């Protein structure tokens, strides 16, 4: 059989799959005895981090991470597929949909309709994008389906295949709800043979968020166990981590501090306002009636996050008043170019 014929047959098999149309359950299991598992190995220098304590992945948007699928084949040998999709941690019935801001950045064509609306992307060949925006059950919601190569085996008789995945939105796009990534091992009929769940947070500062959430977990354990001695914790390290975790919040508040004061108290003396303004910051009104803000950020991540926040607010204003958004459209386009320039900074 020629390679092209094999590809066509495989595509037909995937299209005929009718998985169990049920709501997902956030639990690991191996009901069919395939000893299915996921292996996630964090590189030394990477744009994503994994917390073994929380079993949680922290990653930036549009950044690829590799995860190994591992299972032990059973007789009779049958074709297997892996389905992967995002699910809300506290509301499994609500499908995770991509936000309109990020969808609008990708042009629509006949071939990319499902890919464009799918938050999850897989760079493996033969990946099939499934689901609709109205989908509730596993078979209906947005997911990626990857045929597993049954000819690749490791030294311990396990089949192992690497997947390259990334996300086209982040948690802040849907109200910062907590999410999990569900991996389902399926046969050609769509029956789920095994499942693994991995919590994931798509954010701009993976290291900061991981450290903050691990510290919160340690604090809860310490409160739950009063017998733990204070000497069991490195006080200097905890203090430094707390300061680092709070710094971004203080910086974000300072971005909007001066304009808010100016709006709320017009009677404030302008000279005193200028004296309290940092030397490398400026806020003023231009001759054509617009407002101008010049600020300095200590970290690249904070700069990008500030630009993204302004872009989201501008997009919301355009949606609220589409007929009055001609000037806002130009502003949003400038913010998009500004973000691209910021990302290119060393």
Binding-site residues from annotation for Zn(2+): 99, 102, 169, 173
Burial class of 68 by CB neighbour count within 10 A (0 to 12, 13 to 18, 19+): middle
Largest CA-CA distance found in the chain, in angstroms, rounded: 84
For tokens 């499994």, name the residue. 92
3-state DSSP assignment of residue 26: coil
The closest of 216, 225, 202, 230 to 99, measured between CA atoms, is: 202
CA distances 230 to 234, 238, 241, Å, are 8, 11, 16
Contact indicator for 31, 74 with CB cutoff of 8 Å: no
Q: Rounded CA gap, 303 and 339, in Å?
A: 9
Note the helical H segments in 204-299: 206-224, 235-255, 257-264, 270-276
Q: Which residue has the tokens 């300061």?
A: 243
Q: Which two tokens stand for residue 302?
A: 């904070």
Asked whether 48 and 202 are in contact (CB, 8 A), the reply is: no
């Amino acid at each position: 059989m020629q390679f092209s014929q094999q590809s066509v047959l495989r595509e037909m098999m995937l299209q005929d799959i009718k998985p169990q149309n049920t709501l997902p359950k956030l639990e690991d299991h191996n009901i069919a005895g395939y000893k299915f598992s996921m292996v996630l190995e964090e590189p030394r220098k990477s744009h994503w981090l994994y917390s073994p304590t929380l079993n949680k992945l922290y990653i930036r948007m549009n950044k690829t991470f590799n995860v190994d699928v591992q299972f032990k084949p059973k007789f009779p040998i049958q074709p297997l597929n892996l389905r992967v999709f995002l699910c809300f941690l506290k509301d499994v019935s609500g499908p995770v949909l991509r936000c309109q801001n990020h969808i609008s950045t990708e042009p629509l064509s006949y071939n990319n309709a499902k890919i464009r609306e799918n938050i999850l992307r897989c760079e493996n060949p033969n990946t099939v994008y499934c689901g609709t925006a109205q989908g509730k059950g596993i078979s209906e919601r947005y997911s990626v389906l990857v045929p597993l190569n049954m000819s690749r085996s490791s030294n311990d008789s396990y089949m192992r295949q690497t997947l390259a995945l990334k996300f086209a939105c982040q948690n802040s796009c849907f109200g910062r709800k907590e999410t999990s990534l569900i991996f389902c091992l399926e046969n050609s009929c769509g029956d789920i043979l095994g499942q693994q769940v991995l919590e994931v947070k798509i954010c701009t500062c993976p290291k900061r968020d991981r450290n903050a959430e691990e510290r919160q977990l340690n604090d809860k354990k310490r409160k739950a166990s009063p017998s733990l001695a204070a000497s069991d914790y490195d006080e200097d390290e905890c203090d430094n981590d707390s300061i680092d975790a709070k710094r971004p919040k203080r910086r974000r508040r300072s971005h909007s501090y001066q304009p808010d004061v100016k709006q709320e108290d017009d009677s404030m003396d302008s000279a005193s306002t200028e004296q309290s303004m940092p030397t490398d910051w400026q806020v003023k009104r231009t001759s054509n009636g617009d407002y101008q803000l010049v600020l300095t950020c200590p970290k690249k991540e904070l700069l990008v996050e500030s630009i993204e926040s302004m872009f989201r607010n501008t997009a919301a204003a355009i949606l609220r008043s589409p007929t009055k958004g001609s000037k806002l459209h130009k502003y949003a386009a400038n913010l998009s170019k500004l973000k691209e320039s910021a990302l290119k900074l060393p």
